[in-house]
Amino acid sequence: MTSFDGAARLLGRLGRGASLAARTALPVDTNPVPADWTHVTKVDPEDAKKLPLLYPLYLRHTSAVSVGGSADVNAANTEETFDLLGPASVPVFHEPSGPRHVTPRTREQADLLAIPEVLNGDSESLVGQLGEGAEYIREEMVPEMLRERLPWLPAFATGALADFATSWLLADAVFEAYVIQNPDSAAAREANVAESDLLSPREAKQRGMAAERHLESELVYLEYSGTYGGDEAAETLDAISESLTWSRLWYGGGIDSRKRAEAMLDAGADTVVVGDAFHRVADEEAELCERAADALDPDADPSAVREWVAENVAVADSNAAAYLATIPGAPDPERLARRYLSATVRTWLRLRAHRAAADDRRGDRPDLGADLRRALGPDLFDGLSEADAALVRRNLTALLRASRADGTDEAAHRRDGSKPSADEAVATHLGLTFSA
Ligand SMILES: CC(C)=CCC/C(C)=C/CC/C(C)=C/CC/C(C)=C/COP(=O)(O)OP(=O)(O)O
Ligand SMILES: O=P(O)(O)OC[C@@H](O)CO
Protein backbone atom coordinates (compact mmCIF):
# COMPACT_ATOMS: atom_id res chain seq x y z
CA MET A 1 0.00 0.00 0.00
CA THR A 2 1.50 3.37 -0.98
CA SER A 3 1.08 6.50 1.11
CA PHE A 4 -1.37 7.74 -1.57
CA ASP A 5 -3.55 4.64 -0.99
CA GLY A 6 -3.49 5.32 2.74
CA ALA A 7 -4.47 8.98 2.29
CA ALA A 8 -7.29 8.01 -0.11
CA ARG A 9 -8.63 5.48 2.42
CA LEU A 10 -8.55 8.03 5.21
CA LEU A 11 -10.44 10.50 3.03
CA GLY A 12 -13.00 7.80 2.21
CA ARG A 13 -13.54 7.06 5.94
CA LEU A 14 -13.93 10.74 6.77
CA GLY A 15 -16.47 11.11 3.94
CA ARG A 16 -18.46 8.11 5.20
CA GLY A 17 -18.37 9.48 8.75
CA ALA A 18 -19.67 12.86 7.61
CA SER A 19 -22.43 11.22 5.57
CA LEU A 20 -23.54 9.05 8.53
CA ALA A 21 -23.48 12.03 10.89
CA ALA A 22 -25.69 13.94 8.45
CA ARG A 23 -28.13 11.02 8.32
CA THR A 24 -28.40 10.42 12.03
CA ALA A 25 -27.35 13.41 14.14
CA LEU A 26 -27.30 16.64 12.16
CA PRO A 27 -30.42 18.73 11.37
CA VAL A 28 -30.10 18.21 7.60
CA ASP A 29 -31.94 15.91 5.20
CA THR A 30 -29.65 14.20 2.67
CA ASN A 31 -32.21 11.77 1.25
CA PRO A 32 -32.73 12.73 -2.43
CA VAL A 33 -36.38 11.61 -2.29
CA PRO A 34 -38.26 14.73 -1.17
CA ALA A 35 -39.84 14.44 2.30
CA ASP A 36 -42.86 16.46 1.21
CA TRP A 37 -44.03 13.94 -1.42
CA THR A 38 -47.16 12.59 0.24
CA HIS A 39 -48.79 11.15 -2.88
CA VAL A 40 -47.25 9.36 -5.84
CA THR A 41 -49.21 8.21 -8.90
CA LYS A 42 -47.89 5.06 -10.52
CA VAL A 43 -48.38 5.11 -14.31
CA ASP A 44 -48.03 1.65 -15.82
CA PRO A 45 -46.67 1.64 -19.42
CA GLU A 46 -48.48 -1.67 -20.11
CA ASP A 47 -50.68 -1.12 -23.22
CA ALA A 48 -53.84 -2.29 -21.41
CA LYS A 49 -53.53 0.48 -18.79
CA LYS A 50 -54.74 3.75 -20.25
CA LEU A 51 -54.29 7.44 -19.45
CA PRO A 52 -57.23 9.84 -19.18
CA LEU A 53 -57.41 12.27 -22.12
CA LEU A 54 -56.73 15.29 -19.88
CA TYR A 55 -54.22 13.45 -17.67
CA PRO A 56 -52.14 16.59 -16.87
CA LEU A 57 -55.16 17.95 -14.97
CA TYR A 58 -55.39 14.89 -12.73
CA LEU A 59 -51.61 14.63 -12.32
CA ARG A 60 -51.13 18.23 -11.37
CA HIS A 61 -52.34 17.46 -7.84
CA THR A 62 -50.01 14.51 -7.19
CA SER A 63 -46.49 15.01 -5.77
CA ALA A 64 -44.74 12.91 -8.44
CA VAL A 65 -45.33 10.23 -11.05
CA SER A 66 -43.63 6.84 -11.06
CA VAL A 67 -43.40 5.06 -14.43
CA GLY A 68 -43.28 1.31 -13.99
CA GLY A 69 -45.18 -1.95 -13.77
CA SER A 70 -44.50 -5.67 -13.54
CA ALA A 71 -46.42 -7.12 -16.50
CA ASP A 72 -46.08 -6.47 -20.27
CA VAL A 73 -43.66 -3.58 -19.83
CA ASN A 74 -40.82 -3.10 -22.31
CA ALA A 75 -38.38 -0.39 -23.42
CA ALA A 76 -40.66 0.87 -26.23
CA ASN A 77 -43.83 1.36 -24.14
CA THR A 78 -41.73 2.85 -21.31
CA GLU A 79 -40.17 5.43 -23.68
CA GLU A 80 -43.63 6.27 -25.09
CA THR A 81 -44.98 6.83 -21.58
CA PHE A 82 -42.12 9.22 -20.79
CA ASP A 83 -42.83 11.10 -24.04
CA LEU A 84 -46.47 11.54 -23.03
CA LEU A 85 -45.59 12.71 -19.52
CA GLY A 86 -42.94 15.20 -20.66
CA PRO A 87 -45.26 18.21 -21.06
CA ALA A 88 -47.35 17.31 -17.97
CA SER A 89 -45.21 19.43 -15.60
CA VAL A 90 -44.81 16.98 -12.71
CA PRO A 91 -41.64 15.26 -11.43
CA VAL A 92 -41.41 11.86 -13.12
CA PHE A 93 -39.24 8.99 -11.97
CA HIS A 94 -38.54 5.60 -13.50
CA GLU A 95 -39.05 2.36 -11.67
CA PRO A 96 -37.87 -0.41 -14.02
CA SER A 97 -38.97 -4.00 -13.42
CA GLY A 98 -36.26 -5.24 -15.79
CA PRO A 99 -32.75 -4.03 -16.70
CA ARG A 100 -33.57 -3.41 -20.37
CA HIS A 101 -36.37 -0.99 -19.53
CA VAL A 102 -33.57 1.51 -18.82
CA THR A 103 -32.40 3.23 -22.03
CA PRO A 104 -30.54 6.44 -22.85
CA ARG A 105 -33.91 8.10 -23.54
CA THR A 106 -35.47 7.06 -20.22
CA ARG A 107 -32.32 8.24 -18.38
CA GLU A 108 -32.60 11.60 -20.10
CA GLN A 109 -36.28 12.02 -19.31
CA ALA A 110 -36.55 10.64 -15.77
CA ASP A 111 -35.89 12.96 -12.83
CA LEU A 112 -34.84 9.91 -10.77
CA LEU A 113 -34.08 6.25 -11.43
CA ALA A 114 -35.61 4.11 -8.65
CA ILE A 115 -34.42 0.50 -8.59
CA PRO A 116 -36.53 -2.12 -6.77
CA GLU A 117 -34.80 -4.58 -4.43
CA VAL A 118 -37.23 -7.05 -2.88
CA LEU A 119 -36.53 -7.84 0.79
CA ASN A 120 -38.78 -10.91 1.01
CA GLY A 121 -38.33 -12.44 -2.46
CA ASP A 122 -35.67 -14.73 -3.91
CA SER A 123 -32.04 -13.73 -4.39
CA GLU A 124 -32.66 -13.25 -8.12
CA SER A 125 -34.93 -10.30 -7.29
CA LEU A 126 -32.52 -8.84 -4.71
CA VAL A 127 -29.17 -9.12 -6.52
CA GLY A 128 -29.68 -11.20 -9.68
CA GLN A 129 -31.48 -8.53 -11.67
CA LEU A 130 -29.19 -5.84 -10.32
CA GLY A 131 -26.15 -7.78 -11.57
CA GLU A 132 -27.80 -8.24 -14.96
CA GLY A 133 -28.58 -4.51 -15.02
CA ALA A 134 -25.02 -3.51 -14.13
CA GLU A 135 -23.64 -5.78 -16.87
CA TYR A 136 -26.07 -4.40 -19.45
CA ILE A 137 -25.23 -0.78 -18.58
CA ARG A 138 -21.43 -1.33 -18.58
CA GLU A 139 -21.18 -3.59 -21.60
CA GLU A 140 -24.03 -2.41 -23.87
CA MET A 141 -25.82 0.81 -22.99
CA VAL A 142 -22.86 3.06 -22.10
CA PRO A 143 -20.47 1.81 -24.88
CA GLU A 144 -23.30 2.35 -27.40
CA MET A 145 -23.85 5.91 -26.12
CA LEU A 146 -20.11 6.61 -26.22
CA ARG A 147 -19.79 5.27 -29.79
CA GLU A 148 -22.65 7.54 -30.85
CA ARG A 149 -21.56 10.69 -29.04
CA LEU A 150 -17.74 10.39 -28.94
CA PRO A 151 -16.81 8.17 -31.92
CA TRP A 152 -13.15 9.34 -31.80
CA LEU A 153 -12.60 8.02 -28.22
CA PRO A 154 -9.82 5.35 -28.02
CA ALA A 155 -10.86 1.88 -26.80
CA PHE A 156 -8.95 2.03 -23.48
CA ALA A 157 -10.75 5.29 -22.55
CA THR A 158 -14.12 3.79 -23.51
CA GLY A 159 -13.60 0.99 -20.94
CA ALA A 160 -12.64 3.37 -18.12
CA LEU A 161 -15.53 5.74 -18.94
CA ALA A 162 -18.01 2.83 -19.07
CA ASP A 163 -16.82 1.71 -15.62
CA PHE A 164 -17.22 5.20 -14.23
CA ALA A 165 -20.63 5.78 -15.90
CA THR A 166 -22.01 2.46 -14.61
CA SER A 167 -20.95 3.17 -11.04
CA TRP A 168 -22.23 6.72 -11.32
CA LEU A 169 -25.63 5.59 -12.63
CA LEU A 170 -26.01 3.17 -9.70
CA ALA A 171 -24.73 5.70 -7.14
CA ASP A 172 -27.12 8.32 -8.52
CA ALA A 173 -30.14 5.94 -8.52
CA VAL A 174 -32.36 5.57 -5.48
CA PHE A 175 -33.05 2.07 -4.16
CA GLU A 176 -36.53 0.94 -3.20
CA ALA A 177 -36.51 -1.83 -0.60
CA TYR A 178 -39.82 -3.64 -1.17
CA VAL A 179 -41.72 -5.73 1.34
CA ILE A 180 -44.35 -7.42 -0.85
CA GLN A 181 -47.37 -8.56 1.17
CA ASN A 182 -49.86 -9.58 -1.54
CA PRO A 183 -48.76 -12.96 -2.97
CA ASP A 184 -51.41 -12.68 -5.72
CA SER A 185 -49.87 -9.57 -7.31
CA ALA A 186 -47.77 -9.33 -10.48
CA ALA A 187 -44.97 -7.85 -8.32
CA ALA A 188 -44.99 -10.96 -6.08
CA ARG A 189 -44.85 -13.27 -9.10
CA GLU A 190 -41.98 -11.25 -10.57
CA ALA A 191 -39.99 -11.50 -7.31
CA ASN A 192 -41.06 -15.06 -6.35
CA VAL A 193 -42.81 -14.02 -3.15
CA ALA A 194 -45.02 -16.84 -1.85
CA GLU A 195 -47.49 -17.00 1.05
CA SER A 196 -44.71 -18.35 3.28
CA ASP A 197 -42.56 -15.24 2.58
CA LEU A 198 -45.06 -12.74 4.04
CA LEU A 199 -43.62 -10.88 7.02
CA SER A 200 -44.94 -10.09 10.50
CA PRO A 201 -44.71 -6.40 11.53
CA ARG A 202 -41.58 -7.16 13.59
CA GLU A 203 -39.84 -9.00 10.74
CA ALA A 204 -40.76 -6.18 8.34
CA LYS A 205 -39.28 -3.68 10.79
CA GLN A 206 -36.02 -5.68 11.04
CA ARG A 207 -35.68 -5.90 7.25
CA GLY A 208 -36.43 -2.19 6.98
CA MET A 209 -33.56 -1.55 9.38
CA ALA A 210 -31.23 -3.74 7.29
CA ALA A 211 -32.35 -1.84 4.17
CA GLU A 212 -31.60 1.54 5.71
CA ARG A 213 -28.38 0.66 7.53
CA HIS A 214 -26.78 -1.94 5.28
CA LEU A 215 -28.27 -1.55 1.79
CA GLU A 216 -28.60 2.24 2.24
CA SER A 217 -31.99 2.17 0.49
CA GLU A 218 -33.50 5.62 0.16
CA LEU A 219 -36.97 4.04 0.29
CA VAL A 220 -38.68 1.25 2.17
CA TYR A 221 -41.88 0.31 0.30
CA LEU A 222 -44.70 -1.70 1.89
CA GLU A 223 -46.43 -3.16 -1.17
CA TYR A 224 -49.96 -4.65 -1.23
CA SER A 225 -50.33 -3.97 -4.99
CA GLY A 226 -53.99 -4.41 -6.09
CA THR A 227 -55.38 -4.95 -2.61
CA TYR A 228 -55.80 -2.76 0.48
CA GLY A 229 -53.66 -3.76 3.46
CA GLY A 230 -55.99 -2.30 6.14
CA ASP A 231 -55.18 -2.84 9.84
CA GLU A 232 -52.40 -5.34 9.15
CA ALA A 233 -50.59 -2.81 6.92
CA ALA A 234 -51.17 -0.04 9.49
CA GLU A 235 -49.57 -2.17 12.20
CA THR A 236 -46.60 -2.94 9.93
CA LEU A 237 -46.14 0.72 8.95
CA ASP A 238 -46.24 1.68 12.61
CA ALA A 239 -43.47 -0.84 13.40
CA ILE A 240 -41.26 0.12 10.42
CA SER A 241 -41.64 3.89 10.78
CA GLU A 242 -40.52 3.81 14.37
CA SER A 243 -37.13 2.34 13.34
CA LEU A 244 -36.28 4.43 10.25
CA THR A 245 -34.34 7.66 10.58
CA TRP A 246 -33.21 8.42 7.04
CA SER A 247 -35.11 6.23 4.56
CA ARG A 248 -38.60 7.27 3.43
CA LEU A 249 -41.48 4.88 4.06
CA TRP A 250 -43.99 4.39 1.23
CA TYR A 251 -47.22 2.42 1.16
CA GLY A 252 -48.93 1.14 -2.03
CA GLY A 253 -51.97 -1.06 -2.66
CA GLY A 254 -55.73 -0.54 -3.04
CA ILE A 255 -55.78 3.17 -2.17
CA ASP A 256 -59.02 4.49 -3.69
CA SER A 257 -60.42 6.97 -1.14
CA ARG A 258 -59.37 9.79 1.18
CA LYS A 259 -60.10 7.56 4.17
CA ARG A 260 -57.70 4.84 3.02
CA ALA A 261 -54.96 7.31 2.06
CA GLU A 262 -55.20 9.05 5.42
CA ALA A 263 -55.23 5.76 7.34
CA MET A 264 -51.88 4.72 5.82
CA LEU A 265 -50.32 8.18 6.28
CA ASP A 266 -51.54 8.31 9.89
CA ALA A 267 -50.02 4.85 10.49
CA GLY A 268 -46.57 6.14 9.58
CA ALA A 269 -46.21 6.15 5.77
CA ASP A 270 -44.53 9.26 4.37
CA THR A 271 -46.18 8.68 1.00
CA VAL A 272 -49.08 6.71 -0.47
CA VAL A 273 -48.72 5.31 -3.99
CA VAL A 274 -51.83 5.07 -6.19
CA GLY A 275 -51.89 2.97 -9.37
CA ASP A 276 -55.14 1.26 -10.36
CA ALA A 277 -57.41 4.07 -9.13
CA PHE A 278 -55.74 6.42 -11.63
CA HIS A 279 -56.01 4.08 -14.61
CA ARG A 280 -59.69 3.45 -13.77
CA VAL A 281 -60.39 7.14 -14.60
CA ALA A 282 -59.48 6.41 -18.23
CA ASP A 283 -61.72 3.33 -18.39
CA GLU A 284 -64.64 5.35 -17.06
CA GLU A 285 -64.27 8.28 -19.46
CA ALA A 286 -64.10 6.04 -22.54
CA GLU A 287 -67.62 4.82 -21.78
CA LEU A 288 -68.80 8.31 -20.79
CA CYS A 289 -67.58 9.96 -24.02
CA GLU A 290 -69.22 7.30 -26.19
CA ARG A 291 -72.55 8.13 -24.52
CA ALA A 292 -71.90 11.86 -24.90
CA ALA A 293 -71.16 11.50 -28.63
CA ASP A 294 -74.66 10.06 -29.14
CA ALA A 295 -76.33 12.83 -27.15
CA LEU A 296 -74.39 16.03 -27.82
CA ASP A 297 -73.42 18.21 -30.74
CA PRO A 298 -69.61 18.45 -31.40
CA ASP A 299 -69.82 22.20 -30.77
CA ALA A 300 -71.98 21.93 -27.65
CA ASP A 301 -71.21 24.89 -25.39
CA PRO A 302 -69.71 24.44 -21.91
CA SER A 303 -73.02 24.92 -20.08
CA ALA A 304 -74.78 22.29 -22.25
CA VAL A 305 -71.97 19.80 -21.55
CA ARG A 306 -71.98 20.60 -17.82
CA GLU A 307 -75.74 20.07 -17.73
CA TRP A 308 -75.43 16.76 -19.58
CA VAL A 309 -72.74 15.58 -17.14
CA ALA A 310 -74.84 16.68 -14.14
CA GLU A 311 -77.84 14.72 -15.43
CA ASN A 312 -76.00 11.62 -16.65
CA VAL A 313 -73.02 11.02 -14.35
CA ALA A 314 -73.01 10.17 -10.64
CA VAL A 315 -69.91 12.31 -10.08
CA ALA A 316 -69.69 11.61 -6.33
CA ASP A 317 -69.29 7.89 -7.12
CA SER A 318 -67.07 8.37 -10.18
CA ASN A 319 -63.56 6.98 -10.57
CA ALA A 320 -62.38 10.55 -11.25
CA ALA A 321 -63.61 11.74 -7.83
CA ALA A 322 -62.22 8.59 -6.15
CA TYR A 323 -58.71 9.14 -7.59
CA LEU A 324 -58.69 12.86 -6.70
CA ALA A 325 -59.87 12.03 -3.16
CA THR A 326 -56.74 9.91 -2.61
CA ILE A 327 -54.59 13.07 -2.89
CA PRO A 328 -54.38 14.59 0.59
CA GLY A 329 -54.03 18.20 -0.60
CA ALA A 330 -56.64 18.14 -3.39
CA PRO A 331 -59.53 20.43 -2.42
CA ASP A 332 -63.12 19.27 -3.04
CA PRO A 333 -62.47 16.20 -5.23
CA GLU A 334 -66.10 15.98 -6.34
CA ARG A 335 -66.15 19.53 -7.69
CA LEU A 336 -62.79 19.01 -9.43
CA ALA A 337 -64.03 15.73 -10.94
CA ARG A 338 -67.19 17.41 -12.30
CA ARG A 339 -65.05 20.12 -13.89
CA TYR A 340 -62.53 17.69 -15.38
CA LEU A 341 -65.15 15.26 -16.71
CA SER A 342 -67.05 18.10 -18.42
CA ALA A 343 -63.81 19.42 -19.96
CA THR A 344 -62.94 15.89 -21.12
CA VAL A 345 -66.28 15.35 -22.87
CA ARG A 346 -66.10 18.73 -24.56
CA THR A 347 -62.48 18.33 -25.65
CA TRP A 348 -63.04 14.89 -27.02
CA LEU A 349 -66.15 15.91 -29.02
CA ARG A 350 -64.20 18.82 -30.49
CA LEU A 351 -61.03 16.87 -31.30
CA ARG A 352 -63.01 14.05 -32.81
CA ALA A 353 -64.81 16.47 -35.15
CA HIS A 354 -61.51 18.21 -35.92
CA ARG A 355 -59.84 14.94 -36.84
CA ALA A 356 -62.79 13.91 -39.06
CA ALA A 357 -62.59 17.24 -40.93
CA ALA A 358 -58.80 16.97 -41.30
CA ASP A 359 -59.14 13.41 -42.67
CA ASP A 360 -61.68 14.64 -45.28
CA ARG A 361 -59.20 17.25 -46.44
CA ARG A 362 -56.21 14.93 -46.79
CA GLY A 363 -54.35 15.82 -49.97
CA ASP A 364 -55.40 19.50 -49.67
CA ARG A 365 -52.22 20.21 -47.69
CA PRO A 366 -54.12 20.72 -44.40
CA ASP A 367 -52.72 23.43 -42.18
CA LEU A 368 -52.15 21.63 -38.88
CA GLY A 369 -51.38 24.81 -36.95
CA ALA A 370 -54.65 26.45 -38.03
CA ASP A 371 -56.63 23.25 -37.37
CA LEU A 372 -55.21 23.02 -33.88
CA ARG A 373 -55.89 26.65 -33.11
CA ARG A 374 -59.51 26.17 -34.19
CA ALA A 375 -59.95 22.90 -32.29
CA LEU A 376 -58.32 24.22 -29.14
CA GLY A 377 -59.86 27.69 -29.43
CA PRO A 378 -60.05 30.10 -26.50
CA ASP A 379 -63.54 28.99 -25.44
CA LEU A 380 -62.81 25.25 -25.28
CA PHE A 381 -61.75 25.18 -21.66
CA ASP A 382 -64.31 27.61 -20.21
CA GLY A 383 -64.89 26.27 -16.73
CA LEU A 384 -61.22 25.46 -16.11
CA SER A 385 -58.89 27.88 -14.36
CA GLU A 386 -56.49 29.83 -16.58
CA ALA A 387 -53.52 27.75 -15.39
CA ASP A 388 -55.37 24.46 -16.02
CA ALA A 389 -56.49 25.58 -19.47
CA ALA A 390 -52.94 26.60 -20.42
CA LEU A 391 -51.53 23.28 -19.17
CA VAL A 392 -54.03 21.21 -21.11
CA ARG A 393 -53.70 23.27 -24.28
CA ARG A 394 -49.90 22.94 -24.20
CA ASN A 395 -50.13 19.21 -23.63
CA LEU A 396 -52.74 18.52 -26.30
CA THR A 397 -50.84 20.60 -28.82
CA ALA A 398 -47.71 18.55 -28.14
CA LEU A 399 -49.67 15.29 -28.45
CA LEU A 400 -51.40 16.25 -31.66
CA ARG A 401 -48.16 17.48 -33.21
CA ALA A 402 -46.53 14.16 -32.33
CA SER A 403 -49.53 12.27 -33.68
CA ARG A 404 -49.07 13.98 -37.05
CA ALA A 405 -45.29 13.56 -37.11
CA ASP A 406 -45.31 10.25 -38.97
CA GLY A 407 -42.01 9.53 -40.64
CA THR A 408 -40.28 12.55 -39.15
CA ASP A 409 -37.54 12.58 -36.53
CA GLU A 410 -40.13 12.70 -33.78
CA ALA A 411 -41.36 9.25 -34.77
CA ALA A 412 -37.96 7.89 -35.73
CA HIS A 413 -36.65 7.32 -32.21
CA ARG A 414 -38.41 3.97 -31.81
CA ARG A 415 -35.82 1.43 -30.78
CA ASP A 416 -36.79 -1.64 -32.76
CA GLY A 417 -35.85 -0.01 -36.07
CA SER A 418 -39.48 0.17 -37.28
CA LYS A 419 -41.17 3.52 -37.66
CA PRO A 420 -44.72 3.19 -36.40
CA SER A 421 -46.47 6.55 -36.30
CA ALA A 422 -46.52 8.59 -33.13
CA ASP A 423 -50.29 8.46 -33.70
CA GLU A 424 -50.16 4.81 -32.74
CA ALA A 425 -48.33 5.55 -29.51
CA VAL A 426 -50.87 8.22 -28.53
CA ALA A 427 -53.77 5.92 -29.45
CA THR A 428 -52.26 3.03 -27.49
CA HIS A 429 -51.82 4.94 -24.27
CA LEU A 430 -54.90 7.16 -24.21
CA GLY A 431 -58.25 5.58 -23.42
CA LEU A 432 -59.83 7.81 -26.09
CA THR A 433 -58.74 8.23 -29.68
CA PHE A 434 -59.37 11.35 -31.68
CA SER A 435 -60.74 9.59 -34.76
CA ALA A 436 -64.49 9.75 -35.35
C1 LIG B 1 -29.46 -1.56 -12.73
C2 LIG B 1 -30.55 -1.52 -13.71
C3 LIG B 1 -30.35 -0.76 -14.92
C4 LIG B 1 -31.71 -2.14 -13.58
C5 LIG B 1 -32.08 -2.92 -12.43
C6 LIG B 1 -33.35 -3.61 -12.75
C7 LIG B 1 -33.90 -4.24 -11.53
C8 LIG B 1 -33.04 -4.54 -10.36
C9 LIG B 1 -35.17 -4.53 -11.53
C10 LIG B 1 -35.82 -5.15 -10.37
C11 LIG B 1 -36.79 -6.17 -10.85
C12 LIG B 1 -37.64 -6.66 -9.78
C13 LIG B 1 -37.06 -7.52 -8.73
C14 LIG B 1 -38.93 -6.33 -9.77
C15 LIG B 1 -39.81 -6.80 -8.72
C16 LIG B 1 -41.18 -6.38 -8.97
C17 LIG B 1 -41.56 -5.10 -8.35
C18 LIG B 1 -41.18 -4.77 -6.98
C19 LIG B 1 -42.29 -4.29 -9.07
C20 LIG B 1 -42.87 -3.06 -8.58
O21 LIG B 1 -44.22 -3.20 -8.46
P22 LIG B 1 -45.22 -2.79 -9.63
O23 LIG B 1 -44.68 -3.24 -10.90
O24 LIG B 1 -45.51 -1.36 -9.52
O25 LIG B 1 -46.45 -3.62 -9.21
P26 LIG B 1 -47.71 -4.11 -10.06
O27 LIG B 1 -47.37 -4.21 -11.50
O28 LIG B 1 -48.01 -5.42 -9.39
O29 LIG B 1 -48.74 -3.06 -9.79
O1 LIG C 1 -52.43 -0.34 -8.13
P2 LIG C 1 -52.55 -0.12 -6.66
O3 LIG C 1 -53.33 -1.18 -5.94
O4 LIG C 1 -53.05 1.26 -6.35
O5 LIG C 1 -51.07 -0.23 -6.06
C6 LIG C 1 -50.15 0.80 -6.30
C7 LIG C 1 -48.72 0.32 -6.25
O8 LIG C 1 -48.32 0.02 -4.97
C9 LIG C 1 -48.41 -0.81 -7.18
O10 LIG C 1 -47.04 -0.99 -7.17
The pLDDT of 242-269, averaged and rounded, is 98
Query: What is the interface pTM, i.e. ipTM, of the complex?
Result: 0.96
Kind of pairing between the strands at 271-274 and 39-43: parallel
18-27, 101-110, 154-163, 427-436: least confident range? 427-436
Tens digits of residue pLDDT in 45-98: 999 999 999 999 999 999 999 999 988 999 999 999 999 998 888 999 999 999
The pLDDT of 419-428, averaged and rounded, is 66
Ligand 2 geometric centre to CA of 67 (Å): 12
Task: Spell out which residues line ligand 2, taking CB within 6 angstroms.
Answer: 42, 187, 223, 225-226, 252-255, 273-277
Ligand 2 geometric centre to CA of 231 (Å): 17
Res. 421: pLDDT tops 90: no
Which DSSP string do the residues of 58-77 spell out, in sequence order? HHTTSSEEEE--SSS--HHH
What counts of helices (H) and strands (E) characterise the chain? Answer: 19, 8
Question: Any idea what DSSP says for residue 271?
Answer: E
179 touches 119 (CB < 8 A): yes
Q: Tell me the pLDDT band of 164, cut-offs 50, 70 and 90.
A: very high
How far lies 292's CA from each of 12, 296, 314, 356, 427, in Å? Answer: 65, 6, 14, 17, 20
Locate the domains of the chain by residue range: 31-278, 279-429
**Percent of the chain whose predicted confidence (pLDDT) is above 90:** 69
How far lies 297's CA from each of 132, 217, 340, 352, 431, in Å? Answer: 55, 54, 19, 11, 21
CA distance 57 to 55: 5
**Residue 225 Cα to chain centre, angstroms:** 15
Q: For the chain, how are helix, strand and coil distributed in percent, rounded to 5?
A: 55, 10, 35
Picking from 293, 302, 292, the residue whose alpha carbon sits closest to that of residue 380 is 302
| Domain at 31-278, CATH class | alpha beta
Would you state the pLDDT for residue 378? 73
The whole-model pTM stands at 0.92
- Confirm or reject: Cβ of 113 under 6 Å from ligand 1: no
Closest Cα to atom 20 of ligand 1: 187
